[in-house]
Structure 1
Amino acid sequence: MLVAAAVCPCPPLLVPDVAVGAAPELDAARAACTDALGVLAASRPDLLVVVGPAEESGRGPHPEGTRGSFSGFGVDLDVCLGRPDAARANPDGASVNPDAAGASADASERELPTSLAVAAWLLERTGWSDAPVEGLGVGESLETERCIQAGEHIGGRAGRVAVLVMGDASACRTLKAPGYLDERAADFDAEAARALGAADVAALKALDTSLAYELKAAGRAPWQVLAGAAEGAGLGGALLYDDAPYGVGYLVAAWS
């Protein structure tokens, strides 16, 4: 059963080594992420599942010990999801449901997608050692029903399951945003922020898949995986951060 969740954004700039000048405008977001991961640790989970958006090559399960890199961003920095030796101990990979995530079941010899690499950095930064860790990369356009199915599977993976959900809101909040300005973006992000802050499972399930895709809101699918995992868990939520410093909505929330 799901006992806690943390929702964090996943821009590589969240990692100071990637950001020129360490992007001080993201200091508040980093601090909020640390607080959210503290809620996960306090829940004393038996298993932590990290869920984030991924391109096709990164979709599906990523076992503990899978490595990621920020070399594609010009930085010589590698990270590891959980215990470095765990992949050798469990060569068949994670047990999260790859079919529900719309991906191949082959989890071996793959690098973490960027969203899960950022998550791995957050976990290393906070010294996570509270429970085994598994990862799941999901497609940005994955249908709501399949997201919910993946979440339901995750929620049943252990007696006490925690989820770290990575994903950004819209990328269309300003003229200089990656997706340019879209007048619908602010309202979409406001509803997502409200739903995440209130742990409103029904509202997360009701997010418009097509609109989210048009607004480049990569967090929509991971948030709906969370909704599937949280059904019936009775968790309460708190919104810890809500801003769009680069025209991209970044949200941090904690559920317990």
Structure 2
Amino acid sequence: MAVGADRSGPRVLGPDSAGTFAGFGVDVPVTLGGTAPADPDFPLPALVTGLLREQAGARSASVHLLAPDTPAQECRRLGESLAEEATGLLVLADGTNCSDERSPYPPDQRAGQLDEQIRTALADVDTDRLQALDPELCAELGVEGRAALQVLPGVVAASGGTWRGELLYSATPYGVTYHVATWTRQL
């Protein structure tokens, strides 16, 4: 199961969905598990989920898409409901897209602080820090996946227990910041 943000949300894409990376310059078809024809307008979070599903050898996946402007409390409620049905959750989000001269948008001095807030929250399983992400600031600085990140506090709250985070990657190649982390519930 995956969660991401896309302007087409809210909606759920099931295992019978498929798409292609052709809109990004390479016609690489992916599926969430079925044999449906590739949708040329398949949302990026679903494309990445399909690619990772295939690489991992998973039979199927579903993707919950939120609108980028989904309120934080609604994101948290989705996380609480997903915690009951998911054995694993892939959260697809991004950092800022305006941090330096290589960025697709003019650099903004606030980007570094926002990326640090996200980086620290992911490394430390700091759900309060994620819940505190400002939707307006995130929109201004290109953090389209803010809503997906704010699903995590609900997952943790509903699952209980102690969690451990590991930041695997955090960098700004090509002017867009990406963070990769794993969160594991300790038994």
Letter of the 2:71 counterpart: E
Q: Identify which range, 115-124 or 208-217, moves more after superposition.
A: 115-124
Task: Please state how far the C-alpha of 1:110 moved relative to its aligned partner.
Answer: 9.7
Q: 1:54 and 2:54 equivalent?
A: no
Matched residue, 1:8: none
Match of 1:84 in 2: 34
Write the mapping of 1:58-77 to structure 2, written as runs, cut at 5 A: 59-77=10-28
Point out the more displaced range, 171-180 or 189-198: 171-180
Deviations 1:168-222 (A, max 9, x none): 1111111231222000001100110010011111111111111111101122110
Name the % identity.
Answer: 34
Q: Distance between the aligned counterparts of 1:240 and 1:137, measured in 2?
A: 24
Write the letter of the residue equivalent to 1:133: A
2:72 is aligned, of 139, 144, 156, to 144
User: Where does residue 39 of structure 1 map in the other structure?
Assistant: none
Q: Distance in 1 between matches of 2:80 and 2:124?
A: 20
Contact kept in structure 1, 2:10 and 2:65, CA below 8 Å: yes
Query: How has the CA–CA distance of structure 1 residues 124 and 150 changed in structure 2, closer, same or farther, with 3 Å as cutoff?
Result: same
Q: Aligned in 2, Cα 1:233/1:66: closer, same or farther, shift over 3 Å? A: farther
- Deviation of 1:111 (Å): 5.9
Map of 1:33 onto structure 2:
none
2:49 to 119, 127, 132: 119
TM-score, structure 1 length as denominator? Answer: 0.66
CA contact (8 A) 2:167 2:182 kept: yes
1:233 Cα offset (Å): 4.2
RMSD across aligned C-alpha pairs, in angstroms? 1.9
Q: Give the paired residue count.
A: 180
Q: Runs of 5+ in structure 1 lacking a partner?
A: 1-48, 88-108
In 2, Cα distance between the equivalents of 1:110 and 1:149?
31
Return 5+ residue gaps in structure 2 as ranges.
none
2:81 corresponds in structure 1 to 153
CA gap 1:137/1:110 in 2 versus in 1, 3 angstroms: farther
Report the TM-score when normalising by structure 2.
0.88
Cα pair 1:212 1:220 within 8 Å, conserved: yes
* Secondary structure of the corresponding residue to residue 89 of structure 2: strand
**Match in the other structure for 1:234:** 162
> What is residue 176 of structure 1 aligned with on the other side?
102
Give the superposition deviation at 1:244: 0.3
